[in-house]
């Protein structure tokens, strides 16, 4: 009898050890639209390597780049179904979890990167709490950069812009609302469809940051980029809280620490790369077209009307006021750094 109990005890212990070993080896599967080899993917891969090292290989992060898992709507859907654990997405993807975060991407809201940093850093914990309430860990802020219009024909006025067969990201309700305000009819496509659409002539204009245009090869199919900066595009990595339950508290802490450090480094890198990408575009024959003051003023007027019209539809008045108050704080402290929006 004693021997039987001993065997059962050893068996139970072995099973528990095996179970613990399995629990320790966690794979986090993340998707992104960032192309393989891009600065974004280089940073993500470095972060994955550092995560494996920090957790003694108990946690491995696997990325599916270049839209292998579809568009960002597909990413969020697959996370909710448990087919993915997270994703590195733009604010369009983030908006599919909580749309109010788009208040940070309102057109013509910011005048400088420093202003973006001040405001976004101030309100980011607020959005992290909102995402946590919806079952997601919102990691450190990432970014895409200043968004410009890019086209095959030069755009010097809103009338010119309206003549373009202009791409619109089908899932981007904010830009959709802006286009409606400007009386622009966009051609709705997913991001992976833009390049072939520019090639075939289905569209002849798009919008994005210089780095995105170069990384996705859009710059080889357009001739002009406006100096007008429509907005500052951000992003972030989100991970399902359900997936994070598979990690020990110590490993979770390591994962977040690495992600935070990588996020800060990536912001610095992306800013430099956007400058480099713009130089690449000009070397390849793309003209940076100076936007006339009349067009900028008209665009700005419509943008501020849009801010008010989206209250109660995309974000609350309190959330808009929160961003505007933080922006006012920055401008008061740095009066010479920016020219306040009229």
Determine the pLDDT at residue 330: 97
Q: How confident is the model at residue 336 (pLDDT cuts 50, 70, 90)?
A: low
Q: What is the CATH number of the domain that holds 192?
A: 3.40.190.170
Considering Cα of 12, then 17, then 18, then 20, what sign does the dihedral take?
positive
Secondary structure (3-state) at 142: strand
The number of folded domains in the chain is 1
23/222: higher pLDDT: 222
Structure tokens at 313: 């539809």
Mean pLDDT score of the chain: 90
Percent residues over pLDDT 70 in the chain: 91
In a domain, 338, yes or no: no
Residue pair 202/187 in contact (Cβ under 8 Å)? The answer is: yes
Determine the pLDDT at residue 263: 85
In a domain, 323, yes or no: yes
- Position 15 pLDDT exceeds 60: no
Per-residue pLDDT of 53-107, as tens digits, reads: 999 999 999 999 999 999 999 999 999 999 999 999 999 999 999 999 999 999 9
Q: What is the DSSP letter of 73?
A: H
Q: How confident is the model at residue 24 (pLDDT cuts 50, 70, 90)?
A: low
Percent residues over pLDDT 90 in the chain: 83
Give the Cα separation of 52 and 189 in Å (integer): 37
Q: How confident is the model at residue 126 (pLDDT cuts 50, 70, 90)?
A: very high
Q: Which of 138-147, 205-214, 259-268 is the least confident region?
A: 259-268
Instruction: Read off the pLDDT of each residue in 30-50 and give the average, rounded to a whole number.
Output: 92
Give the Cα separation of 93 and 172 in Å (integer): 9
Q: Which of 76-80, 106-110, 133-137, 256-260 is the least confident region?
A: 256-260
Residue pair 17/217 in contact (Cβ under 8 Å)? The answer is: no
Residue 79 makes CB contacts below 8 A (sequence gap 6+) with 85, 86, 87, 136, 238, 240
Query: How many residues appear in the chain?
Result: 342
- Position 341 pLDDT exceeds 90: no
Helix H or strand E segment including 304? helix 293-309
Determine the pLDDT at residue 310: 98
Burial class of residue 312 in the structure, from the number of CB atoms within 10 Å of its CB (0-12 exposed, 13-18 middle, 19+ buried): exposed
Q: Which of 36-40, 50-54, 285-289, 328-332 is the least confident region?
A: 36-40
Residue 140 makes CB contacts below 8 A (sequence gap 6+) with 236, 237, 259, 260, 262, 263, 264
Give the Cα separation of 231 and 174 in Å (integer): 11
Give the Cα separation of 121 and 112 in Å (integer): 14
- Position 215 pLDDT exceeds 80: yes
Give the Cα separation of 256 and 157 in Å (integer): 45
Secondary structure (3-state) at 74: helix
In a domain, 341, yes or no: no
Instruction: Read off the pLDDT of each residue in 289-312 and give the average, rounded to a whole number.
Output: 97
Q: What is the DSSP letter of 290?
A: P
- Domain extent at residue 300: 2-333
In a domain, 150, yes or no: yes
């Amino acid at each position: 009898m004693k021997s039987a109990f001993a065997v059962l005890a050893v068996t139970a212990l072995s099973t528990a050890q095996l179970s613990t070993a399995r629990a320790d080896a966690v794979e986090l599967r993340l998707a992104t639209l960032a192309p393989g080899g891009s600065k974004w993917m280089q940073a993500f891969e470095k972060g994955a390597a550092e995560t494996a090292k920090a957790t003694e290989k108990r946690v491995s992060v696997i990325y599916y780049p270049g839209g292998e898992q579809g568009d960002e709507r597909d990413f969020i859907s697959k996370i909710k179904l448990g087919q993915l654990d997270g994703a590195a997405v733009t604010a369009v993807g983030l908006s599919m979890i909580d749309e109010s975060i788009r208040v940070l991407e309102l057109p013509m809201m910011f005048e400088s990167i420093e202003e973006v940093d001040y405001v976004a850093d101030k309100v980011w914990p607020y959005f992290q709490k909102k995402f946590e309430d919806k079952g997601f860990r919102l990691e450190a802020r990432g970014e895409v950069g200043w968004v410009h219009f890019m086209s095959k024909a030069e755009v010097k006025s809103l009338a010119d812009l309206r003549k373009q067969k202009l791409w619109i990201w089908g899932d981007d309700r904010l830009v959709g609302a802006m286009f409606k305000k400007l009386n622009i009819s966009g051609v709705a496509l997913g991001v992976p469809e833009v390049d072939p659409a520019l090639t075939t002539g289905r569209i002849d204009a798009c919008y994005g940051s210089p780095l995105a245009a170069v990384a996705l090869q859009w710059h080889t199919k357009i001739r002009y980029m406006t100096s007008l900066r429509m907005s500052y595009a951000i992003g972030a990595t989100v991970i399902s809280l359900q997936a994070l339950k598979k990690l020990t508290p110590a490993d979770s802490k390591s994962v977040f620490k690495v992600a935070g450090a990588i996020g800060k480094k990536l912001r610095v890198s992306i800013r430099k790369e956007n400058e480099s990408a713009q130089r690449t575009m000009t070397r390849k024959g793309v003209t940076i077209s100076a936007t006339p003051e009349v067009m900028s003023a008209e665009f700005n007027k419509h943008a501020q009307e849009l801010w008010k019209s989206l209250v109660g539809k995309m974000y609350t008045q309190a959330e808009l006021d929160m961003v505007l108050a933080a922006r006012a704080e920055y401008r008061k402290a740095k009066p010479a750094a920016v020219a306040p929006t009229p």
